[in-house]
Structure 1
């Protein structure tokens, strides 16, 4: 026997409940429209992790800005799409800045690294190249964590990213670098 779908809650009622501070209303809004938000973010950014981060940021922003929603100006879905577009634009701006900063860091010599022979220099160039291939924000986060010896909390607050996202980028970035370095070792052996 098929279970009937739950009836959709009226958008006007949801908006009123959300504005009044109902977490149940936020949960229902998330249930109904998180797929739309995630799909827009994924198609715009092309990265599942970034899309998940943007989706989270959109619903946090919706909660924090719940008093700004005006049903007479548009639907909840249109409001969420607007927030999503702003969060995507913010992330793209951040990527651009991070990329610009990453290039500056890659070109400046490190005070703690002394290059004594050709193999050290080659490894350093390979690492810089792989970080550039990796792209931001992951490469910037790895540089901050390992070259600048900054804590995960510091990186999170500096970049305005959730702590879990920073940790995920570090873990995935290290796995990616390890695989690439193994590949280079196999070729050079």
Structure 2
């Protein structure tokens, strides 16, 4: 049996990374950054986004190293999992940015200026969208179904397979949170 290649990832490196050894981080970056970058580039379709995801993956991995358990998974698999999440986050962010630009273009007058009641409505919708994003999950999804899909509490409960009482509680707390946030925002104007 041939000895492992010098660049092969080992259980010792798993343990060193979990223990906070910066040399293990550097070795992980050296070995896995090309894979992370390739996965991100193929998924996102652009090099700049792939560069950002690659950096984000290793920042997340290092910051959350205390949650890495070498007995449950090897570091390469753990990093690929983080990569998938970072790619999904980047795609979601890109979609939100695109929607914001499209909404702003729709609100623009034919001469290219933005203003009037359509712009106010757009600003309110963008503000609400951002606030719903801040709520997290499942609150954000519940509130979107209530606001945008006009579903009843019972319909939301069935669609998300959550108890009715849980849906009602999330809606009540989310509305209180939104009220506090929006009152603070309007006081700033």
TM (norm. structure 2) is: 0.52
Q: Deviations 1:158-188 (Å, cap 9, x if unpaired)? A: xxxxxxxxxxxxxxxxxxxxxxxxxxxxxxx
| Count of aligned residue pairs for this structure pair | 109
Question: Structure 2 regions of 5+ residues with no counterpart?
Answer: 114-189
CA–CA separation in structure 2 for the residues paired with 1:100 and 1:47: 19
Q: Deviations 1:59-94 (Å, cap 9, x if unpaired)? A: 000100111112222221111110000000001111
Structural RMSD (CA)? 2.2
Indicate if the aligned counterparts of 1:11 and 1:76 stay in contact, CA closer than 8 A. no
User: 2:100 matched to which residue of 1?
Assistant: 101
Does residue 1:8 correspond to 2:7, yes or no?
A: yes
User: 1:53 matched to which residue of 2?
Assistant: 52
CA–CA separation in structure 1 for the residues paired with 2:94 and 2:84: 15
- More relative contact order in 1 or in 2 (CA 8 Å, sep 6+)? 1
User: 1:75 matched to which residue of 2?
Assistant: 74
TM (norm. structure 1) is: 0.52
CA–CA separation in structure 1 for the residues paired with 2:9 and 2:35: 18
CA–CA separation in structure 1 for the residues paired with 2:102 and 2:86: 24
Structure 2 counterpart SS, 1:72: coil
